[in-house]
Amino acid sequence: MSAVTRFLAVSDFLRSYLTVGIFAGVAIALVAGILGLGSLIRPTRPQASKYVNYESGVDPVGVGWSQAEIRYYIFALLFVLFDVEAVFIFPWATRLEAYGTFGAVEMGIFIGILALGLLYAWRKGVLRWL
């Protein structure tokens, strides 16, 4: 590579990174600009009741750091299991005939592996509520 092409390559590189720099600058300016504009033009009338935790319009009971039952999370996870299953099964089901045996076998493997997750949850006693 001659010195000239090397110099051109370097300035090319600077141009590429200028793009990245401009991009980052615009991203920061956009967020700062919108938030800044909001804080400039909005009225500020602080009242104690505005700083109370929101609880669907009624007066909140207890503190924000209350504990929730862990089992809800486990059921949420199991829900994700079936949700993912549904996301893939629906498009497959709309073209069931077209995919033929190949599609049936593939979906069988997919459901089989997901069912293992359910089997795991069952064997670990997660499905019992109490």
Partner 1 sequence: MSFPATASAVLAVGDAVPFRSPALDWHALAPEAVLVATAVVVLLVDLFTAERNKWLASTLSGLGLLGALVPVITLAVDGNTRSLFGGAYVVDDFALVMKALFLVAGYVTILLSTDYIGEGDYWEGEYYLLVVSSVLGMTLMASARDLITIFVALELLSIPAYLLAGWRKRELTGNEAGMKYYLMGVFASAVMLYGMSLVYGGTGTTVLAGIGRQVAGSFGATPVAALGIVFVLVGFGFKVSAVPFHNWAPDTYEGAPTPITAFLSVASKAAGFVAILQLIFVAFYGRDEVYGPMMWVLAALTMTVGNLIALRQTNVVRLFAYSSVAQAGFILAPLAVAGDSPAVADDAIRAVVSYLLIYTAMNLGAFAVILAVSRKTRSGELDSWGGLFEYAPGLTVLMTAFLFALAGIPPLGGWFAKFQVFKAVLGAGGASAYILAVVVAVNSVIALYYYANLARLMWFQSVPDGDRSPVRVPAAINLALALCVAFTVATGFFPGLVGHFGDAATDLVAVALRR
Binding-residue pattern over the window 8 to 37 for partner 1, x denoting contact by CB under 8 A:
-xx-xx--xx-xx--x--------------
Structure tokens at 11: 């300035």
When asked if residue 42 is in the footprint of partner 1 (CB under 8 A), the reply is: no
Give how far Cα 53 sits from Cα of 22, 59, 65, 68, Å: 40, 8, 11, 17
Q: What share of the chain is helix, strand, coil (3-state, %, to 5)?
A: 75, 0, 25
Structure tokens at 107: 């979906």
In the 8-state DSSP scheme, what is residue 67?
-
Report the nearest approach of partner 1 to the CB of residue 15 (Å): 8
Q: By CB under 8 A, which span of 31-39, 58-66, 71-79, 117-125 interacts with partner 1? A: 117-125
Binding-residue pattern over the window 89 to 108 for partner 1, x denoting contact by CB under 8 A:
------x--xxx-xx-----
Distance of CA 4 to the CA centre of its chain: 48
When asked if residue 6 is in the footprint of partner 1 (CB under 8 A), the reply is: yes
Instruction: Point out which residues bind partner 1 (CB under 8 A).
Output: 1, 6, 9-10, 12-13, 16-17, 19-20, 23, 95, 98-100, 102-103, 113, 116, 119-120, 123-124
